Structure 1
Amino acid sequence: MKKLFVTVQNHVDSQLSSFLESKKPSLLTSAIKDTIAFGGKRIRPTLLYVAYKGFGGKDDKLIWQIGAALELFHTSAIIHDDIIDNSKTRRGKPTVVEKHGLPTALLVGDLALSLANELFYNTLLTKFLSQQVSDQWYALQEEMMYGQFLDVSSNVFNLIKNNDFDKDRLEQKVMEVMEYKTARYSVERPLLLGAKLANASVKEHELLSHYGRKVGIVFQIQDDILGIFGDEKRTGKSANSDLEEGKLTLLMAKLLSVYSDRKELKTQVRNVEWVRDQLRKYRIDEECKKLASELIQEAKKSLSKTSLTKDSSRFLLSFAEYVLTRTA
């Protein structure tokens, strides 16, 4: 699996480099290059490639171009995300907003989005791709932005202030955030985009959609678990960051609904050691891990019904296991 990630990254990064070099040099394009250079596994382009090849796609260059557009859009998304969260670092390096200030960071994020659409549509026109491919591209963008809105509007501090502790409602809200901000954007839509480019059937789309959404939700559950319990040196993220932001994760939604001492909750909710202790006390971490495992099993069942090639199916099985067990 690692070998394919590296292969895709090399090709996509080459496309990105060529495309960005063709643009007028400026602080804005330089900041985009710096953000891309921060690293990352290029998960979205890799899933795009796996689905495309799995359903018989032949034009690898097409995927490298679309994959590069995906990475530019992701660059825009993380720059804006860092602005919203007031994040000072990402993967151990200063964020664009920390390094250049809010006005410049907004422009860099906007430019990355514009360039992503330019690269996508240049490819769309030269390859005579269908409107349905374009629909997948716009759905990916719209769903991520909607998910981001849901995320910022679901704040733990406001929920405590308003005494909003209904278990079912909180968990439903969290599941919706995870579905739109992470699952659809990071896993489901890249897979569907690749499948559509390879002209896969509607039935194959449905099965791949089910797989992608389940695996994507688990990706976020595991991300939130690592955010509290993970090794900061491996995750590159402070264990306090989600708590300081008041991020409503599945862990926190379950804790809010079971912890009866509201006054203590209000004073301790930013204390990572206290939160860890309560999550363990109520076995919430184990409950979330159990849910994640169940979702992965459901995803695998859907995957087994597809007509993907053995190589693509094998990769997606390994990817599902990686998402469930990753430590960074």
Structure 2
Amino acid sequence: MKQLDYLDDRVAESMAYLSHYFDHAMERATSPYLATAISALRDVALGGKHLRARLVHIAAGEATGPENQAAVIFGAAVDMLHASFLIHDDIIDEDPLRRGIPAVHHAVTEKTGSARVGNAMGILTGDLGLMVTYQLLSASPLDDSLVRRATGMVAGYAAQTVSGELLDVSHLVNENIDIDSVRLSNHLKTSLYSFTAPLHLGSVAARRDNPDTLSAMSAVADPLGRAYQAADDIAGAVAPVEVTGKIQGGDLVAGRKTLLTMRLCDLSLEEAVEQVTAEGDAWLAQARGAVASPHLPEVTRAGLHDTIDRVERMLHAHR
């Protein structure tokens, strides 16, 4: 889509900003273990599809000057936050793979022969990423009021993510839960930091963070995030490692409570996939309707429609 030609270059600017930070951090590494943590964090942060950074730039539009500089930095920060959560999530879920290669904690465990050391390194590497997220914002050349606004947003949505993860972990030991509880944990741990936060930060960067615009962004982000999680829940149960980079059927083996596994008491796997797909489609329809808001700039609407189409392809990839 020609209207979105700017996006790849803007995301690349955010990743270059992040890469530059890692270059300096590696120069100051005072021990082999710190160098290992920085290197692992870099691999996770600079890998992947950069959906969250892309959403920042979608919300910011074709910003220039200081507004573009803010969007570049905010895009780097949200991808760093995401990397931190992934590293911690792999430990929580005891996943040995991330994007087809050993997860940080598992790689260190294999190297040292100690799961304790591996888990400790994984936790600390994720913690380092969280600190770097806020350092990227606080040490940036941006205006202090802008940094304060963005930092407050990131901290608030990060706290909600932790709340969602805690709820998700509680499902492992609580058999008396319903699917709405799973939907709530999905919303807290995925929709808010992966969709709402980047879109709000992009609006802040472009100086369009008025209540009407932020509300319009949230109206798209919430159902889009829920559809994204539905697609992820399907992939976690049936997609091969070549697609997810994680062990096939990991959610089934680990007994995790997801939109799909919660349905397996009454349905076959194929039937459950169909139901979760239908639920995801309903969320996507809601997101598409919300994109029509007059409070969203035209270029942002185009970017959101493109993102919805991408999530839809993910959702239907394993039917």
Q: Distance in 2 between matches of 1:236 and 1:125?
A: 36
CA distance 1:21–1:232, change in 2 (3 Å): closer
Report the Cα distance in structure 1 between the residues aligned to 2:202 and 2:225, rounded to whole angstroms: 16
Query: Which residue of the partner structure matches residue 191 of structure 2?
Result: 183
In the TM superposition, 1:216-235 aligns within 5 A as: 216-235=225-244
**Structure 1: how far apart are the matches of 2:60 and 2:18?**
20
CA–CA distance in 2 between the matches of 1:182 and 1:57?
Answer: 31
Per-residue Cα deviation, 1:5-40 (whole angstroms, up to 9, x for no partner): 642442122111211222212232222223234x21
In 1, are the aligned partners of 2:84 and 2:125 still within 8 Å (CA)?
yes
1:324 to 308, 312, 318: 312
The letter for the 1-side match of 2:12 is N
2:138 aligned with 1:150: no
Deviations 1:131-158 (A, max 9, x none): 4433211112111111111111112xx4
Q: CA deviation at 1:54?
A: 7.0
- Report the Cα distance in structure 2 between the residues aligned to 1:51 and 1:59, rounded to whole angstroms: 11
Contact kept, 8 Å, 2:7 with 2:57, in 1: the verdict is no
Aligned residue identity for 1:50: I
Which residue does the alignment assign to 2:209? 200
**C-alpha separation in 1, matches of 2:152 and 2:125:** 25
CA contact (8 A) 1:75 1:112 kept: yes
SS of match in other structure, 1:123: coil
1:17-36 to structure 2, matched below 5 A, reads 17-23=19-25, 24-25=28-29, 26-36=35-45
Q: Could you say what secondary structure the match of 1:211 adopts?
A: helix
Q: In structure 1, list runs of 5 or more residues that go unmatched.
A: 260-277
Normalised by the length of structure 2, the TM-score is 0.85
Counterpart among 107, 113, 119 of residue 124 in structure 2: 107
| TM-fit CA distance, 1:55 | 8.7
CA distance in 2, matches of 1:244, 1:313: 40
* Distance in 1 between residues matched to 2:72 and 2:48, nearest whole Å: 16
Cα separation, 2, equivalents of 1:300 and 1:319: 10
Q: Which residue matches 1:279?
A: 269
The letter for the 2-side match of 1:109 is G
Aligned to 1:40: 48
Per the alignment, residue 171 of structure 1 pairs with: 179
Pair 190,124 (structure 1): closer, same or farther in 2 beyond 3 Å? farther
The answer as to whether partners of 2:239 and 2:249 remain within 8 angstroms in 1 is no
Answering whether residue 125 of structure 2 is matched by residue 135 of structure 1, we say no
CA 1:313–1:236: 2 relative to 1, 3 Å: same
Cα 1:194–1:57 change in 2 (3 A) is: farther
Paired residue type of 1:323: V
Is the Cα contact below 8 Å between 1:144 and 1:184 reproduced in 2? yes
What residue in structure 1 maps to residue 18 of structure 2? 16
Deviates more, 1:207-216 or 1:114-123: 114-123
Distance 1:212 1:55 in 2: 21
Structure 1 contact 174–249 (Cα < 8 Å) conserved:
yes
Say which is worse superposed, 231-240 or 189-198, in terms of deviation: 231-240
Q: So what's the TM-score if we normalise by structure 1? A: 0.83
- Could you tell me which residue of structure 1 aligns to residue 77 of structure 2? 69
